[in-house]
Structure 1
């Protein structure tokens, strides 16, 4: 599972580089980190962030975001470690219901 490296926004601006989405990726957690997902396919798709947190012994639900078809564009985040950090690697696990015509960038402000 590849890990997306967050691109840092600066005072001079950032033109993010987007890569083709794959079925699942990982992203470093952070209060200033988010995903920018673009969907150019003819159908909507979902992005799922796997929650790892527990409250009083109950697992917190995964975060599921629907990205609309054709010109769908969603900013998803922040990605706080207390909600999404995996026990083994501290990274947020992300899955995509479809990867056809879907691009993604990890961005940190």
Structure 2
């Protein structure tokens, strides 16, 4: 798993090229920081639909919480909020992909 770091997107000026902040998704999955204002950006530049899964390690009253999934059609982009519900034992979110060909990802922090 590759450890993704956050790129700050300022509220004034923004980030002109989101894809420039993105890196190739790792075949074994990635980890990412979690918290307020953090989002996983995914660009599926490939020719097939891709499914991105963020593990939800916690339980509610002893019942497992379903993992979050994002299904992206070919050529589409998406965002997943990286809230504290995804915080694993390492303090980071665990992210997996059904395939990584032509998939790039970035962790974006919305900040001042």
TM-score (norm 2): 0.88
Cα offsets for 1:40-84 (capped at 9, x unmatched) = 111101000000121000110101110111x1111111x122x11
Between Structure 1 and Structure 2, the one with more strand by share is 2
What residue ranges of structure 1 are gaps of 5+ in the alignment?
Answer: none
Question: Does residue 86 in structure 1 map to residue 82 in structure 2?
Answer: no
What residue ranges of structure 2 are gaps of 5+ in the alignment?
Answer: none
CA distance in 1 between partners of 2:58 and 2:36 (Å): 15
2:77 aligned residue = 73
RMSD: 1.1
CA distance in 1 between partners of 2:66 and 2:93 (Å): 14
Of 55, 58, 62, 1:50 maps to 55
CA distance in 1 between partners of 2:14 and 2:38 (Å): 16
TM-score (norm 1): 0.90
Aligned length: 105
